Amino acid sequence: MSAPMPGKARLAMYDVQQIRSDFPILARSVHGHPLAYLDNAATTQKPRSVIDALVRFYEHSNANVHRGIHTLADEATSDYERTRAHLARFIGAPRPENIVFTRGTTEAINLVASSWGRPELNPGDEIVVSQLEHHSNIVPWQRLSAETGARLRWIPLLPDGTLDMAAAERLIGGATRLVAVTQMSNVLGSIVPVRELAALAHAHGALILVDGAQSAAHFPVDVQDLDCDFFALSGHKLLGPTGVGALYARSSLFEGMEPYQGGGSMIESVSLDGSTWADPPAKFEAGTPSIADVVAFDAALSYLEALGMDDVRCRDRALTTYALERLGTLPDVTCLGSSNPDLRGGNVSFTVADVHPHDVATYLDFQGIAVRAGHHCAQPLMRHLDIVGTARASFSVYNTEEEVDRLVSALREMSQFFSAPAARAVSAS
């Protein structure tokens, strides 16, 4: 794909206003200002089609899945499994059975740590992660290392916030059992060369797990092309409901893994002497799942497919380029991460000189602009960058250049406010 034109020329090719009309929440005001929602890395807003699908399920087909033989149970099961097949196609999985529904990326990664890692890892084995990772792709491996005696190794970063692939090649070796990396940083937006890391891991007999919580919402994903062994994602970052996510794994891995939880639906038979397990994916979906949320997630996938994930990536790259250009005009603002739009997605973290990120977010909120502030569940990365945190503007399909202009204008006004003597005195107190 050729590089997009920067700024307004490229964005004018998209009917963003038509897209925005599909999202009811974008019509509201906050503190007397139109809402500019720039916190999509935390969660995206939902189109009317997703909201309607959620309501329609509860009004028309609400029943438990995989148990009943009555009409509502059959409809609920059919809708639930339709989403599984749809998601498999969306990420390029070979079969619906390669998809296990979870509550989100965090639970998916914990499932792998528990069901694959606990029986497989021994003292002296190594898990390779990167300094970019969200806590969800750090803490489970730290706990697993403490339990098994395995060792964590860290891929460092280059000055532009991308992975040091030369260091990765040195770190991944004969003791490596798993490489666990994000595909796109939730802080810097850095896009990780997963395919190269997969080749390094597989050359040494190791597996690779990909945290796709951010990437799946910003550009096309094909797990077979990536050659990954595990891929985790969250529905709520893909315009879908909260409380639903998924884990992709190769069939042979699911077949060899023990269940994550025990209970209803995941069994083949139960006796007083013991139990046997159902085939995957049922083996990993104990109990009643978030049925309505899974069913509504199907509508979110359809919405993104109608836009086209290649076009989503083009818009994302163009808007990120525009944001970096405009923020770069502010002398007190420092944007973190690569300036190359091909190496990053639409998460733009920045600091403002002499202003705490929480103060930045509070000031912007009073202008109707929603951004995230803090360490973004990436404290090791913040320590590497030697900062307490950042403010972060993150984009989705409905964001506009006008919202970026509002952000820049508010930041300029904020810098003038905090530079005033009275404001400095209040801040110091």
Q: Which sequence positions are flagged as catalytic? A: 377
DSSP assigned state of 352: E
CA distance 273 to 147: 29
* SS3 label, residue 330: coil
Instruction: Provide the 10 A C-beta neighbour count for residue 426.
Output: 10
Q: Is 342 exposed, middle or buried (0-12, 13-18, 19+ CB in 10 A)?
A: exposed
How far are the Cα atoms of 162, 209, 331 from residue 100, in angstroms, in the given order? Answer: 30, 15, 48
- DSSP assignment of 247-306, as one string? EEE-HHHHHHSPPSS-STTSEEEEETTEEEEPPTTGGG--S---HHHHHHHHHHHHHHHH
Tally of residues, the chain = 429
Which amino acid is present at 269? S
- Give the 3-state DSSP-derived string for 164-185, with helices as H, strands as E and coil as C: CHHHHHHHCCCCEEEEEEECEC
- Residue 129's H or E segment, with its range, is strand 126-130
- DSSP assignment of 359-388, as one string? HHHHHHHTTTEE-EEE-TT-HHHHHHHT-S
Closest CA to 363 of 6, 33, 21: 33
The residues, any chain, with a CB within 8 Å of residue 324's CB and separated by 6 or more, are: 335, 339, 341, 348
DSSP assigned state of 163: B
* SS3 label, residue 309: helix
Q: Which residue has the tokens 């904020």?
A: 414
